[in-house]
Amino acid sequence: MKSYQLQDYRQPLVPVETPTPEPKGSELLLKVVASGICHTDLHLIDGGYDLGQGRRLSFKDRGFQLPRTPGHEIVGRVVAAGPEAGAIAREKNYLVFPWIGCGTCVACAAGDEHLCPQPRYLGLQRDGGFSDHVMVPHPRYLLDIGNIDPKAAAPYACSGLTTYSALKKAGDAIKRSEILIIGAGGLGLMGVQLVRLMGGKGAVVVDIDAKKRQAAVEAGALAALDGSAADLRAQIQSAMTAGVHVVVDLVGSATTAQLAIDVLAKGGKYILVGLFGGSIDIPLPTIPLRVLTITGSFVGNLAELNELLDLARSRGLPSFPTTPCSLHDVNENLRRLHDGKVIGRAVMVAE
């Protein structure tokens, strides 16, 4: 099989040919049909996250082993199955749940494999979808996408799930007031549509890029505000007359975090998703006096991915722009994503 591997941090991925593996036990070998390119891939290639004040969270220090094939937004077809995998239809397109845990700890037992302390995430700790084949450890991680276009479905495994799980953390507030979404990349555009599909009042979006604001309006945002405007806080307050009760921050920089804390109403919730990095100083009495909730959100669990697919089938598909590309252009597309030139999602499709 042909894969693009990360062999050294901060270097382009390297094409390699290796023998196609045979599935054992409950494993399934999938031929990759579509594979999305995500910011997390950039973080993996870069080797870590910026923690602010010169500190770094490094993949190497966390025990990551190279070489590794990135890619965690995968749709594929089963081409071989281990003896314990059971009967599984070969002609169907399956979305792969990549946030796989150890299967035995408290988090995994509760169905929250994405919170497992010993993760086996595809495309991070295990080889992923920047390849023509991928191995999946068990059929329960395969979700039948029916007639959904594989290119549109692939990003559900990460950007869709991340956005859905983050919005679920808003609880009933989503139905009572508009949501402020910071960042109109792939997640933001998905978020704008999901707020509606989940019965919410709608989303106001902030982004510094005019093209992305335009895309947010086309996706159904109530308003799209320029993140670099000098009077941004006043613009937010006038666009959200009932107050800002929930901020979903898909950027996660010091600037956006400060904005969220500044604009939130009493009792408001700051849901931090983006991993741009940095740090801010929050005066502690602010949190109890304004009854603020600050919560992190990272991808989501298998049940949530099933709910998202159900929502897509029953309430209509959140469609957002995807740019099809091919596996051999992966480095070029990673660069474009890094430079902020991708609208929606770049998804590699099998030739």
Residues at the site binding Zn ion, with contacts judged by CB under 5 A = 38, 40, 101-102, 105, 108, 116, 158
Q: In Å, how far are 135, 140, 204 from 83, measured between CA atoms? A: 14, 15, 50
The minimum distance between CB 38 and Zn ion, in angstroms, equals 3
The minimum distance between CB 185 and Zn ion, in angstroms, equals 11
The minimum distance between CB 158 and Zn ion, in angstroms, equals 3
Q: Give whichever of 101 and 185 is closer to Zn ion, judged by the CB atom.
A: 101
Q: Give whichever of 105 and 282 is closer to Zn ion, judged by the CB atom.
A: 105
The minimum distance between CB 345 and Zn ion, in angstroms, equals 10
> Do the bridges between strand 142-144 and strand 94-96 make them parallel or antiparallel, or are there none, so unpaired?
antiparallel
Q: Give whichever of 108 and 203 is closer to Zn ion, judged by the CB atom.
A: 108
Cβ atoms 76, 33 nearer than 8 A: yes
Token reading at 100: 């796989």
Q: Give whichever of 107 and 260 is closer to Zn ion, judged by the CB atom.
A: 107
What's the gap between Cα 60 and its chain centre?
A: 22
Token reading at 89: 């239809």
Please list the residues that pair with 49 across neighbouring strands. Answer: 57
Cβ-proximal residues to 61 (8 Å cutoff; 6+ apart), any chain: 48
The full DSSP string for 69-93 is ----EEEEEEEEE-TTS----SSS-
Q: Give whichever of 263 and 308 is closer to Zn ion, judged by the CB atom.
A: 308
Q: Give whichever of 35 and 177 is closer to Zn ion, judged by the CB atom.
A: 35
Q: Give whichever of 77 and 345 is closer to Zn ion, judged by the CB atom.
A: 345
Cβ atoms 128, 69 nearer than 8 A: yes
| Residue 216, Cβ density class (10 Å: 0-12 exposed, 13-18 middle, ≥19 buried) | buried
What's the gap between Cα 47 and its chain centre?
A: 18
The minimum distance between CB 225 and Zn ion, in angstroms, equals 26
Q: Give whichever of 158 and 260 is closer to Zn ion, judged by the CB atom.
A: 158
The minimum distance between CB 104 and Zn ion, in angstroms, equals 6
The minimum distance between CB 226 and Zn ion, in angstroms, equals 27
Q: Where are the beta strands (DSSP E) in the chain?
A: 2-5, 14-17, 28-37, 48-52, 55-58, 73-81, 94-96, 133-136, 142-144, 179-182, 203-207, 223-226, 244-249, 264-272, 293-296, 322-325, 345-349
Closest CA to 200 of 222, 226, 223: 222
The minimum distance between CB 102 and Zn ion, in angstroms, equals 3
